[in-house]
Structure 1
Amino acid sequence: MLRVINNLYSYRELLAALTWKTITVRYKQAYMGIAWALLKPLMLMLIFTVVKSFVGIDSGDIPYPILVFAALLPWIFFQEATAEGVNSVVGNTNLIKKIYFPREIFPITSVLTKLVELCISFLILAGMMVYYKMAPTIHVFWVPLIILYTIIVSLTVAFAGAAANVYYRDVRTGLPVVLSLLMYLSPVIYPLALVKERLLTQQAAGEWSDMLYTLYMMNPLAGIIDAFQKAMLQGMAPDIGAIWPGLITILILLPLSYIYFKRAEAHFADVI
């Protein structure tokens, strides 16, 4: 692990240059520029709020619009960072064929560039908190750790996905479908407390309830979204019990994903 970090540190200037280049190119020719980063969470918030009025999702003491917007911030960051990371190697064919440097820089760069959009979305969330008269507490300092955890989750998927995408271009086509399904398996539209109540308290799935809840919590986004909402809106520390199943999953999958990426890396220039 230290060798990997030292290797990346040696190429820190290249990493910074590629990150800045990606950010500037992405919005240079867009008429609305970086404002597009705000439209997606705002539009999804409005759509989910309308749906909630028909379905009747219980959001507790927190107004549903700000609850779902707080869920969308880490979710959209994960979704778009992962998608960019998976396509990063194929999208930089010319660089790969010209010179050598650690290819994991591409997924890392793709994930880091999405932090800019995340920071802008935080401004909207802050405005909504002012509107709903919700003041942050000391627990807001958990947020950087939650975002760091989200970055690690994104890289876990991006490393394996980027390597597989070089050999199987179906990965790029199928990824949006998988991510869309994963959103409904994460507490974005509904709070995690609702899942816990239905499965653990009400035993809605019968004898399968406990097992289904455990499987649900192995999704790292479940713990991330719940922790983010607690830290930002509820003035509470993250629920460690909600985080550890997904964290264990990532601690197992991240090394495997990185090893797969490095083994496939040697043949990128030949296959791509």
Structure 2
Amino acid sequence: MLRIAYNLYLYRELIAALTYKNIVIRYKQAYLGILWAVLKPVMLMLVFTLMKGFIGIETGSIPYPLITFAALIPWVFFQESVSEGVNSVTSNAALIKKIYFPREIFPLTAMVTKLVELAISFGILAGMMVYYRIIPSAYIWWVPAFILYTMVVALTISFFGAAMNVYYRDVAQAIPIALSLLMYGSPVIYPLSLVQKKLLIEQAAGEWSDRLYMLYTLNPLVGIIDGFQRVLIKATEPDFGALYPGLILTLAFLPISYWFFKRAESWFADVI
């Protein structure tokens, strides 16, 4: 992690230039420009709100659109960072063949680019909170920590996926499918409290309920999304019991993923 932070500082100007290039290329001839960045979470929120009318998901006194959009902010940031991070090395083949610099710059740049879109999403959430008269509490200072945690999770997957994608292009095709499935295994459409009610209180899976809940919380997005909703909307502290399993798993796999990426980068220019 320290090596990543060092390269982030050392090559900050290159990262800034590549980030600017990515943003300009993506939205250069788009009529709505960078507003397309928030179209995805807004449309998903509307679809999920419509689904809620048929399914009947309970969110208490908190408006469902608000709590869903708060869940979609970290989820879309994670999903887009991973999707572009996995493809970041192969999409910059020309640079890789011409000059050397640490190749982890590409997944890092893909993630930094998404921070711009994340900021716009926060602006929309702020407007929704004003509309629904939700006042943020002191727990809002947890938000930077959750953003950093989301970035670490995205990088853990991106490093391994980007290296594998150089050698096996099927990875790029499989990632969108895997992320779509992961969304249903994360509390985006439904709140974490619903899972806790079914497994921890009602013991819906019998003697396997506690183990299934532990397995569920190994997904880092569970703690991240629930944490966003708690500190932004519910004005409560994070549920550390839901955070720790995924955090421990992420910190265990990040060094392995980065080591694998650095081992594989020696042959990127030859294979790509």
Report the TM range for the smaller structure's normalisation. Answer: over 0.9
Q: Is the CA contact (8 Å cut-off) linking 1:153 and 1:220 kept in structure 2? A: yes
Q: Tell me the residue number matched to 1:182.
A: 182
Q: CA deviation at 1:4?
A: 4.7
Letter in 2 for 1:197: K
Aligned partner of residue 38 in structure 2, secondary structure: helix
Q: CA deviation at 1:17?
A: 1.3
Q: Is the CA contact (8 Å cut-off) linking 1:70 and 1:125 kept in structure 2? A: yes
Alpha carbons of 1:4 and 1:227: their partners in 2 closer, same or farther (altered >3 Å)? closer
Q: CA deviation at 1:154?
A: 0.4
Q: CA deviation at 1:206?
A: 1.1
* Cα distance in 2 for residues equivalent to 1:17 and 1:2: 22
* Cα distance in 2 for residues equivalent to 1:212 and 1:238: 21
Alpha carbons of 1:212 and 1:13: their partners in 2 closer, same or farther (altered >3 Å)? same
Q: Is the CA contact (8 Å cut-off) linking 1:107 and 1:158 kept in structure 2? A: yes
> After the TM superposition, which of the residue ranges 82-91 and 205-214 deviates more from structure 2?
205-214
Q: Tell me the residue number matched to 1:191.
A: 191
Unpaired runs of 5+ residues, structure 1, are none
Q: Is the CA contact (8 Å cut-off) linking 1:8 and 1:102 kept in structure 2? A: no
Q: Tell me the residue number matched to 1:59.
A: 59
Q: Tell me the residue number matched to 1:204.
A: 204
* Cα distance in 1 for residues equivalent to 2:74 and 2:7: 29
Letter in 1 for 2:143: V
Q: Tell me the residue number matched to 1:19.
A: 19
Q: Tell me the residue number matched to 1:43.
A: 43
Q: CA deviation at 1:5?
A: 3.5
Deviations for 1:101-154, whole angstroms, at most 9, x for unmatched residues? 000000000001001111101111111101111011111111011101001110
Letter in 2 for 1:265: E
Aligned partner of residue 171 in structure 2, secondary structure: helix
* Cα distance in 2 for residues equivalent to 1:56 and 1:165: 40
* Cα distance in 2 for residues equivalent to 1:208 and 1:170: 35
* Cα distance in 1 for residues equivalent to 2:30 and 2:203: 50
Aligned partner of residue 207 in structure 2, secondary structure: helix
Matched, 1:231 2:231: yes
Q: Tell me the residue number matched to 1:166.
A: 166
% identical equivalent positions: 65
Aligned length: 272
Q: Tell me the residue number matched to 2:136.
A: 136
Alpha carbons of 1:124 and 1:2: their partners in 2 closer, same or farther (altered >3 Å)? closer
Aligned partner of residue 267 in structure 1, secondary structure: helix
Q: CA deviation at 1:253?
A: 0.8
Q: CA deviation at 1:61?
A: 1.8
Q: Tell me the residue number matched to 1:262.
A: 262
Q: CA deviation at 1:9?
A: 2.6
Q: CA RMSD in A?
A: 1.0
Letter in 1 for 2:210: D
Q: Is the CA contact (8 Å cut-off) linking 1:41 and 1:72 kept in structure 2? A: yes
Unpaired runs of 5+ residues, structure 2, are none
Letter in 2 for 1:12: R
